[in-house]
Chains A and B, each alone.
Chain A
Amino acid sequence: MTVFTNTIVGGRGGAFSRAMQNPHLIFGFVIIGCIALAAVVLPGLLGLDSLAVDPLNRLKPPSVAHPLGTDNFGRDLAARILAGASTSLSLATAVTLLAASLGVAVGIVASFSRLLDHVIMRICDGLMAIPALLLALALTATFGPNFSNLVIALVIVFVPGIARLVRARALALRSETFVEAAIAVGASNLHIMVRHIFPNVLSVLAVQVTFIFAETIVIEAALSFLGAGVPPPAPSWGNILYDGKAAITKAPYMVLFASTAIVITVTGLTMIGDGLRDLVDPRMGARLQPGMARRLFGLIRPRTSEGEQQ
């Protein structure tokens, strides 16, 4: 019955067609796509206002008017969870893009200079010795809690890991024949960095970036929950959990709905990350410990030598 599974898929195959055969990847993208679409379209379509206060209808359980109930200020919970999704997703996008570009630049430059490499890597070691959540908490507390400071703090937290990973990959690439050939032809360092090293780092980076995206969402929720993230009354999943914790005996559904949103998003991202990893490096798919497990554990564990795949 499974005769066709052994058919050899020819040659390279388009990255797209290989991606289409990866159920994890597709399913993950569908989940995240649906959440993003809902966060963008639904509030306008249904006329939901995440900040409209209705003191007469505080902590009302789910009903027709409020499908997910109302919170302790009488705000519509569905509207707040959707708005929280766009807060989380836009924060994660900003952090991921900034951290990735900075990390790639630092990592590639470090791989080209021995002296710089030593200095940069020791700084990375030091930053990674402080647990991620603790560092993020300390930095946001110092900068003051608002959206852009949150982005800065999380970028500082994530850049060292990316830089280390990119540097390790770049160092390995430098001894490859095609790079040696480019050097022999007399290509400038800048040319080699941009045209030869950079494109070959991207595959490893893609996997890492997905995990950082998920970590950002979890850390944001944790920080907001502790009062050091997105300042209220702005909607964010962590803020909803914070309000929900105060009302946990009267309105447990607040915590349940917000938790569900977080868990679904993280699961979707995990699937994308694992799927991407299979796509980039099929051998690693056979590993017992999936990447996400280590990444989530790494949130509270200092990241001394993690993230380097050599």
Chain B
Amino acid sequence: MFTYTLRRAGALIPVLLVVSIVVFSLGWLAPGDPARIVLGPEALEADIQKLRDSMGLNETLWYRYLDWISDALRGDLGTSYFLNMPVSTAIGQHFGPTVQLAVLTIIYALVISVPLGTLAARWRGSGFDQGIAGFTLIGLTFPSFVLSLILVIVFSVWLRCLPVAGYRDLFSDPFNGLRYLILPALSLGTIYAALITRTVRASVLDVLKSEYVDAARSRGVSENRLLFAHALRNAGLPIITMIGLSFASLLSGAVVAESIFNIPGIGSLLVNAIERRDYPVLQGVVLFLTLIYLGLNLLVDLLYGIIDPRVRLTGTVAK
């Protein structure tokens, strides 16, 4: 297990190197002089030069990259041009709402998808199964931002039962916090609900075909017990993978939903940074989200290795 962990983690090093170069070049390719952006259009030339020196902008590119990466490794992602705080602090402040939204979305997706997928496998080929297939297709062809706008029209404009946009903290005001998060979670979660439903249906079907299910059936185990106690439990592995991957992609996929619903999360931080040309924040957020994604991905891989020892030997996960 230890060598497996090392090997999986080691494979990430070249990936991280390339990611760091890409993220660094975002700041370097950006138009305009950072010192001039910080000081504003009416700054004196001498002041700008002084700031350029202290920001290290007069050094060679190579040196600046090494400087940036060694800072980043220590958790220092630079200082925002506009927020008057380190980028890492800004990310910390905005991470809470994003995580709340992501957790709520996953819960919604699971509550919908596990029963639906299992039952679709139970009544394979029936009208119910066809209906589920239709639902998953709709869930997958509607881009989440289109879906969220349609949900806003239906629930906030026509039915007037949910707020259009906004955010309340879930812990200090659970009732209103939930009211504000329902629509974002619905619009983001539907695509995952559709995906997980497909995974659940496929893997339950796989298990139902196996011989021990036949054996249990011939012993007289009831069909429902067979489905939930035998099939669903053993179909868990692909489902866990799917949940892990979904959660990881949710954190970055929430960018659009957050800006539609004015949720002060990582996505809003990113969109505001783009509007204000705040490149350190832009770089920091891209790096942070990519790292989170790669980290969670690694975690899923390792979990796989723990649950299924065969994976450790071949080294790759059959997805």
Which residues of A are in contact with B by a Cβ distance under 8 Å? 122-123, 125-127, 129-131, 133-135, 137-139, 141-144, 218, 221-222, 225-228, 241, 244-245, 248-249, 252, 255-256, 259, 262-263, 266-267, 270, 288-289, 292-293, 296-297, 299-302, 304-305
Contacts and interface: CB of A to CB of B under 8 A. Distances in A.
B19 interface: yes
Given A142-B26, A249-B164, A252-B153, A134 B289 contact: yes
B97 to A, nearest CB: 18
Contact of A131 (B22, B253, B277): B253
Interface stretch (B50-58, B87-95, B138-146, B166-174): B138-146
B318 to A, nearest CB: 11
A226 B153 contact: no
Interface in B90-143: 136, 140-143
Given A137-B255, A138-B26, A288-B202, A302 B149 contact: no
Given A134-B290, A262-B146, A226 B157 contact: no
Contacts of B19: 126, 129-130
Contacts of B22: 126-127, 130, 135
A289 B198 contact: yes
Nearest to B294: A129
Contacts of B182: none
Interface in B256-277: 256, 259-260, 270-271, 274-275, 277
**7 nearest interchain CB pairs?**
A126-B18, A300-B253, A301-B249, A141-B274, A252-B153, A259-B146, A122-B14
A227 B153 contact: no
Nearest to B270: A137
A129 to B, nearest CB: 5
Nearest to B254: A300
B195 interface: yes
A137 B274 contact: yes
A51 to B, nearest CB: 24
Given A142-B26, A259-B146, A127 B18 contact: yes
Given A137-B274, A226-B274, A245-B149, A301 B143 contact: no
A241 B142 CA distance: 14
A258 to B, nearest CB: 8
Contacts of A130: 19, 22, 286, 290
A105 to B, nearest CB: 20
A122 B15 CA distance: 6
Nearest to A139: B26
Contacts of B275: 227
B275, B277, B290, B294: residue with the most chain A Cβ atoms closer than 10 Å:
B290
B286 A259 contact: no
Contact of A222 (B136, B195, B256, B279): B256
Contacts of B14: 122, 125-126
Contact of A302 (B202, B256, B259, B294): B294
Interface residues of B, number: 58
B293 A302 contact: yes
Contacts of A131: 249, 252-253, 289-290, 293
B18 A123 contact: yes
A168 to B, nearest CB: 14
A225 B290 contact: no
A142 B281 CA distance: 12
24 contacts: A126-B16, A126-B17, A126-B19, A126-B21, A129-B290, A129-B294, A133-B253, A134-B289, A141-B282, A142-B31, A222-B256, A225-B256, A228-B274, A241-B145, A248-B149, A248-B157, A259-B150, A263-B143, A266-B141, A266-B143, A289-B202, A296-B143, A300-B250, A301-B293
Say what secondary structure dominates the interface of chain B.
helix
Contacts of A227: 271, 274-275
B152 interface: yes
A226 B255 contact: yes
Given A133-B253, A256-B153, A297-B249, A142 B30 contact: yes
B241 to A, nearest CB: 12
A245 B260 contact: yes
Contacts of A125: 14-15, 18
Contact of A301 (B17, B31, B245, B271): B245
Interface in B279-316: 279, 282, 286, 289-290, 293-294, 297
Given A222-B143, A241-B145, A288-B201, 7 more contacts: A131-B252, A134-B286, A221-B146, A227-B275, A248-B152, A293-B195, A301-B248
Contacts of A129: 15, 18-19, 290, 293-294
A160 to B, nearest CB: 10
Nearest to A214: B141
Nearest to A295: B140
Contacts of A245: 149, 260
Contacts of B26: 138-139, 142
A301 B31 CA distance: 29
A244 B152 CA distance: 12
B191 A297 contact: yes
Contact of B145 (A122, A221, A288): A221
Contacts of B191: 296-297
A127 B25 CA distance: 13
Contacts of A134: 252, 255, 286, 289-290
B293 A255 contact: no
- Residue with the greatest number of chain A CB neighbours at <10 A, chosen from B29, B140, B277, B282: B140
A305 B143 contact: no
A149 to B, nearest CB: 11
B319 interface: yes
B249 A142 contact: no
Contacts of B29: 142-143
